Structure 1
């Protein structure tokens, strides 16, 4: 690890030195441009709304990474994983399906600064679409016609509430324009029989009303090959659309309405197995019908990266609807904003479940239905005054209904009759949230400002759950619990100069508790979890706006961590058991550094470097219940917490004519070693091989080149240029073929767009 650390520091140092050297050349080039009358404005300023008002990203005392519409296009950012890999100290695991719902605890797992959804009823992150929290509805919303994306690291409890202890992803869509008719059409063709069509049209209906429609359709044959003749394929079909309207009846009143829709269909997970078997699988194999691993003839990862054998089709469907209404009135001194949001999502999965060529397990059904409603009202000061303030209130209600039926197959090899009910479960849950918040920033001097704020939250949980395990008696639990919290935030900012801001902040994050059926099939309660984030940083814009350098240091104290414990195995009497439980069994700390550099040495060259260093550990976790026994994980790393993350890019644009440019862009990403679940940490502790439970660090290179003008753009891209063998998550439900992974593959394609 020390050699890796030294290597990463050398890379960061080399990148910084390269930027400095190019800036020196850029200074000469700028001077030459000035003499010829050319105009070089340096870096584009990005305006963010991290504090619920429009500010330059360099003035906000928050660690935030933002992507403008232009940068989203340049970096070919199409989904959650694409923009998170450009953010320091962020880790995201691949999912077998895009939605990420109901796959396993590894699916589409996200962590910011080592904070992740280790367990509990609510997310540790807020995902906001135009100020409406959609984290209960869509983990990976389709990015169509976006204006800006902001990633806020650290707890954002004052403004964003209980679902923001780890951080916030704020997605801002393009709004209708009342001044002009406009449109865009785009298309993509790529490897694995992948095609995409999309577009946008903006129509002004009058001087004060406009509508805007955007959508896309994507289809693919799939990256993986099912070698079983009747098991079906690995293709997918996605559709997404948005219809929005804007009305400005007066200069001070703006009304925005939007409706978002997505429908996703996946044919199969297409997991590639490693051949590494759990002790439970070893205990039932070899059996009468088959021996494990079943499909060794196909080979295992890393020698096999694309082939699998499933004897029955698997159907996965996901659909969501999101409607947002925003009314903003701005007076001379005071502004009022109302945000009303409603979302619903439906997930259904059935069919193949053992992920092998034998009829071992079947899933009769797995449905997941979610609904969210929220109403937020904010009143705040207007203008740049010595005292800026905001007060607000939120009412929200999340409903969640889920059920699953798992049955034994004909070749289950554990002595169960065909269609024997291994698991039949249902639950209904409702969380009603009420909150009030306030924050004020006072400019003590022209250079020094102080910020203080707090949010009071009250959650009420109503839950019903029942379950039958391995033909046992029906057990159920029903009841309600309430939780309350006050989450403060304090910040100080000092402007050392017009271009350098130094800040410090203390903020609290909170996630309410709940209850469920425990392993003994009785009600088990777990409490709320809290964390405190301590942070200092500096944001600077240097060299006549040609270098942006931001540095942040943080320390996080995470208490009463809600941990989900999943166990599949045998009890002391040899009976098969399968249960999951949640407890406040752990405490943890996370500390680290984040460096973000962006440089424009010349008008044609842009360089970027993001480096994150993280040390995130369980301080105390003495009774972790896992597939490998009850273990002491104290001192072990948190899941999804690599020590180093790095992303860097260089883009050069060359003019071909007065209206046409050619460009080339190279990108490099590195993620250090990481575990993705508590079970994977326990596996290695219990003597299992590190592969595949420890995700080894990897780096990959992307390349893009193309032509662009004000009206059209065409770009060829290759992702994972050198076909690096890597995976970002291991799935321990591989059953008779062992643990499985989703391999990273080389992808290429051609993407084009035209504006009219």
Structure 2
């Protein structure tokens, strides 16, 4: 009988670390006679601008599979936050007012003069405004969530993180699909169709379409209509031209139209007896899903883009060029008084956004296997936003009207690069650097029918301004392979976010000054490991980041209304630990889990003059970020024979209490809650069909996606899964 080699000490050490991080006891290897389960599939990412295994890159990355998102009815960026504990979402009455947070830090402003803290990159193209990336995504392969400051490898700078969205490649052989789904509690329908394949020896292409409609889960008792729904349709096309093995040209065009009926807050509590009486028959409560308003609050959104990517192999080097244009039109209508009282009690608003951007990126990638492997790049970004905002307000029986026209233009230039020095087969050094130059200017003009300030409207005024700043950011670190299955890294990153202007409807002379750039110092220690013949993986990251001149909104009183005012809020700190794990228990059974502890706190707050809220908030929580957040999932397939499979899936997401307001308002805290989902499917992949039944929020837990206060009442954003609902999905491949 041959003698089997025993595992090396380093291999045993790697296995022990993985199992300990999962809280599992160390156990002996399986008997040789037992059949082993299949290994976990290799997860490929482009976080370092090269295709590499997730387990090899010295970056904290969470990867969400596109096909799994579609099967779970998670159709846009905002819907993945339950699966990625370090990612959180700020909801608003319009997608223009939404943003993402990574490790407790994000953009808390609707001003067009603010750079996103978390960048969204789709097929190499950076989206300049957060609201552009909130509509449905087509042909999604995966989403990579890169945590911490980025910039030495990506075109546009990102001071807190990057969502790197990668679409499906065009297939070599012609194939297509059609799928349809229907969900209850709001009458949601979704239909998708796609086809792609090779057109000639050197050209292949794909086309996909989407239609979706949802009545909503909030009722307007004034007219009996359901709101908080959507109506969307879109198309996306891709052409890939490969005249020879050294040149690849990819052209992508997409267009999406959307109309969302988003109520301007659903009342959960009120201390104003007059308001409560006018709200009837709606009664304020934590799980209220009814409104009473005479003015339809909704958003019209149009998002389009064109991009061309050229990848040219020059010997062992690759030169990449990405040229892109995007256009975004957004119109929102909001009921500021949230009542069906005529004449209107406070205000009715209409806001219009016309935004265009152009970007150009050049990137040179060195060959692998050299002592110094590097990526060098140059980047240019131009964006212009033209906005118009109008408000009608009744004061002492007189209808007043205000209109503001304002524009913001920003140009950004950058040189960036990152080196990986292969000191030995196991030890590598990381050195990245970025220089960014930003030019930002604005123009603002407001006219009002009143010569003095009235409720919600400031007097006529005009102003303009410009600023330019430059800054350095970078990354330095070490990576060491303890074994083939255990990789560790330690990095320091310097983050940079450019200057900003607080440009909005009721802009005042005190808002005309430019905000300073926001900077950060981030430290990260990570371990990435696999064990049990690649059946078990675990990635652990510890992080600590200090932010200076933190750009954030704080409550202020303008024209008799409480609004948010953008300031350099001071210094904040975020630190914690993150764990992602997966275990292929058997060939048919897989477990996965993610856990994050994020302690995001205010170190020192700079109180603005005339603030409407308390400024004694040092030590308080940063908004939209719970301390603890987790997600667990189990997938099990049962082969029935004759090509049929039964697929069972379930997942549970839990988070503790979250504060939605920077001023630490006790009324804007969502208590801890958990959401449980499950599905069962029957599939025949040889015949190309799948039927699934889904159950969402099986525990029937109501919660707030956001909470805010105003006028003596508290209101919330109602999520899609605010109550239990079920649906069916049908898919046919051909």
Tell me the distance in 2 between the aligned counterparts of 1:481 and 1:341. Answer: 25
Alignment partners' CA distance in 2, 1:706 and 1:143:
23
What pairs with 1:18-97 in structure 2 (closer than 5 Å)? 27=30, 31-33=33-35, 40-96=37-93
Equivalent in the alignment of 1:37: none
The answer on 1:535 being equivalent to 2:535 is no
Higher helix proportion: 1
Aligned-CA RMSD value: 2.5
Question: Which ranges of structure 2 fall in alignment gaps of 5 or more residues?
Answer: 1-17, 448-452
Change (3 A) 1:15 1:53: closer
CA displacement at 1:101 relative to structure 2: 1.2
Alignment partners' CA distance in 2, 1:481 and 1:157: 22
Give runs of aligned pairs for residues 223-372 of structure 1, distance below 5 A.
223-229=217-223, 233-269=227-263, 271-277=265-271, 286=274, 291-292=275-276, 294-302=278-286, 304-350=287-333, 352-358=335-341, 359-363=344-348, 365-372=350-357
Residue in structure 1 matched with residue 396 of structure 2 by the alignment: 415
Distance (Å, rounded) in 2 between the aligned partners of 1:82 and 1:361: 33
Alignment of 1:749 onto 2:727: yes
Shift of 1:73: 4.2
1:198 to 1:741, Cα distance in 2 relative to 1, 3 A: closer
The counterpart of 1:116, out of the listed 106, 110, 114, is 106
Is 1:195 the counterpart of 2:172? The answer is no
For residues 651 and 222 of structure 1, the distance between their equivalents in structure 2, rounded to whole angstroms, comes to 30
Give ranges in structure 1 of 5+ residues lacking alignment: 1-11, 35-39, 103-107, 570-574, 684-689
Whether the 8 Å contact between 2:263 and 2:298 is mirrored in structure 1 is: no
User: 2-side partners of 1:745 and 1:452: how far apart?
Assistant: 49
1:450 corresponding residue in structure 2? 429
Report the Cα offset of residue 300 of structure 1: 1.7
Q: How many residues align?
A: 696
TM-score, with structure 1 as normaliser: 0.87
- Which deviates further from its counterpart, 69-78 or 373-382? 69-78
Q: CA deviation at 1:509?
A: 1.4
CA distance in 2, matches of 1:214, 1:482: 42
Among candidates 174, 182, 196, match of residue 181 of structure 1: 174
Question: Structure 1 residue 479 and structure 2 residue 465: aligned?
Answer: yes
Q: Distance in 2 between matches of 1:368 and 1:170?
A: 25
* Aligned partner of 2:96 among 85, 101, 114: 101
Distance in 1, matches of 2:266 and 2:566, equals: 29
DSSP 3-state at the match of 2:206: strand
The counterpart of 1:727, out of the listed 685, 695, 704, is 704
What's the counterpart of residue 705 of structure 1?
680
Structure 1 residue 392 and structure 2 residue 368: aligned? no
Map 1:609-620; keep pairs closer than 5 Å. 609-620=593-604
2-structure distance, mates of 1:632, 1:492: 40
Tell me the SS of whatever aligns to 1:82.
helix
CA distance in 2, matches of 1:150, 1:326: 20
For residues 436-490 of structure 1, the C-alpha deviation after alignment (integer angstroms, 9 at most, x for no partner) is 1121111100000011010111010021112355365422211211010111111
- Residue pair 2:689, 2:732 contacting (<8 A) in 1 also: yes
* Aligned residue among 548, 551, 557 for 1:559: 548
1:544 aligns with 533
Give the distance between the partners of 2:89 and 2:646, measured in 1 at CA.
32
- Residue in structure 1 matched with residue 513 of structure 2 by the alignment: 524
Partner-residue secondary structure (3-state), 1:81: helix
Q: Give the drift of 1:314.
A: 2.8
Deviation string for 1:92-133 (max 9, x for gaps)? 244455xx214xxxxx34211111113561110110010100
Which stretch shifts more, 292-301 or 338-347?
Answer: 292-301
CA contact (8 A) 1:116 1:124 kept: yes
Query: Cα deviation per residue 1:698-735 (whole Å; 9 max; x = unaligned)?
Result: 111011111223212221111111101211211335x4
Alignment partners' CA distance in 1, 2:371 and 2:478: 14
| Cα distance change of structure 1 residues 548 and 231 upon mapping to structure 2, 3 Å threshold | closer
Equivalent in the alignment of 1:9: none
Structure 2 residue matching 1:294: 3-state secondary structure = helix
Q: For 1:372 and 1:543, how far apart are their aligned partners in 2?
A: 49
Specify whether residues 199 and 695 from structure 1 end up closer, same or farther in structure 2 by C-alpha distance, changes over 3 A only: same
| Paired position in structure 2 for 1:160 | 154
**How much does 1:163 deviate?**
4.0
